[in-house]
Amino acid sequence: MKQRILIVGSGFAGMWAAVSAARLAHLHQRDDINIQVLAPQPELRVRPRFYENNVASLVSPLAPLFASTGVEFIAGNAESIDDKEKKVLYRDEQGQLTSLSYDRLVLATGSNAKRFNVVGADQFAFDIDQLESAKVFEKHLQNLPLQPDSPQRNTLVVCGGGFTGIELATELPSRLKALFGEDTQTKVIVVERGSMIGGRYSQALREVIAQASQELGIEWRLNAEVSSIDETGVTLSDGSHIASSTVVWTVGVQANPLTEQLDAKRDNQGRLYVDENLQVVGLSGVYATGDVANAATDTLGNTALMTCQHAIQLGKFAGNNVVASLIDIAQLPYRQENYVTCLDLGSWGAVFTEGWDQQVKFVREEAKKIKVSITNELIYPPKAERDSAFAAADPLAPFV
């Protein structure tokens, strides 16, 4: 009887886990291992680019890649995990509740935006967290010119000044000019609860973000918290109101709630603590990867972030190690000591930093070229050709 590896999720971590697992099984000529991926669709949604225009195009099919590497895809939505019985319950395409058994489980279900219980956020705020919601936001933008010209129509509010909020806010001025024309006075406002622009980043990176914001005409409301959102705009905790027809929520992410199904320790973002091999601490045969894993990247105290940069490598190591555990060979401890930040800053350009201390190396057009190379090439799936895909899935192959 074949041994079964079940990978739940087909995002960056899940996709690479599947190909990496298939690679190691192939290298050891283990035809007795069946690698399955359970996800709603056989596609990689390029989430880091959802702040861009034409979001429907930011999807890469995975069926050819899985077919070329011997990975079985199962369409469905996972609903519960029974790690005692080693089963996952899921809804298939017909809505029927079905179960899958496994010998090893890899949880790679990603993350979702948090709303923090702000009054009106669910009803009146847009987000670009998932493909469906990003499409809704894009359609709303396209329909804005149909509304009467007014300060409310022409003002866009981005709630949250983190990575996603900055990339979206700096992208919006050029998109609004394309929609309304060069002569329309538009305003993009970032509402940030912190005391400084880009407060999570190094001083050098903060200065670049502030410069780009100033030149693009982006207004920051610092030390500000959103109290409520309605059809007229945003009310802040100090009682002030920003009139806007377009409010976008980009504040924080949380690991997929499936992590709560497991009797294991989680951090404040819901991520499961894993050991150096990415096995969930205290659970034999269960691995976590990508945004659902709290994993040390090195011996210096750094932890993987909820980014595709880390998800890709986490996936490669998880896939390798889950097969290694089945065939009883040494696993590869996850390590990702190199860290870069490449932040898109719209028509101003971009900024590229190296190291956890975020030393700025390139700005404006030089950094923009790197950003485009990363988001348009590096993070996409490999070609649907077995040998080249397996070479790319090697956890020890060079990466950012």
With tokens 């809505």, the residue in question is 95
Domain 1-111+251-337: state its class.
alpha beta
Mean pLDDT of 186-202: 97
pLDDT-based confidence at residue 124 (cuts at 50, 70, 90): very high
Give one word for 270, left, alpha or beta, with left for phi > 0 and alpha for psi -120 to 50: left
- The whole model's pTM is what? 0.96
* pLDDT-derived band at 117, boundaries 50, 70, 90: confident
Mean pLDDT of the chain: 97
Task: Identify the CA nearest to 280 among candidates 33, 44, 8.
Answer: 8
How does pLDDT run across 13-36, given as a tens digit for each residue?
999 999 999 999 999 999 999 999
Enumerate residues 6+ apart whose C-beta is below 8 A from 18.
Answer: 7, 10, 35, 37, 66, 69, 71, 319
Q: What pLDDT is attached to residue 54?
A: 97
From edge to edge, which strands make up the β-sheet containing 187-191?
218-221, 187-191, 155-159, 246-249
User: Alpha-carbon distance 120 to 62, whole Å?
Assistant: 37
Rounded mean pLDDT of 250-277? 96
Pick the CATH number of 124-247 from 1.10.260.40, 2.60.40.420, 3.20.20.70, 3.50.50.60: 3.50.50.60
pLDDT at 115 over 80: no
pLDDT of residue 137: 98
Higher confidence at residue 212 or residue 400? 212
User: How high is the pLDDT of residue 286?
Assistant: 98
Dihedral over Cα of 318, 44, 54, 114: its sign: negative
Instruction: Report the C-alpha gap between 356 and 200 in whole angstroms.
Output: 12
pLDDT of residue 238: 96
Q: Which pLDDT score, from 0 to 100, does residue 45 have? A: 98
**CATH 3.50.50.60 location in the chain:** 1-111+251-337, 124-247
Per-residue pLDDT at 61: 98
How high is the pLDDT of residue 1? 78
Token pair recorded at residue 276:
């150096």
Tell me, what's the pLDDT at 114?
Answer: 82
Residues 220-244 have a mean pLDDT of: 97
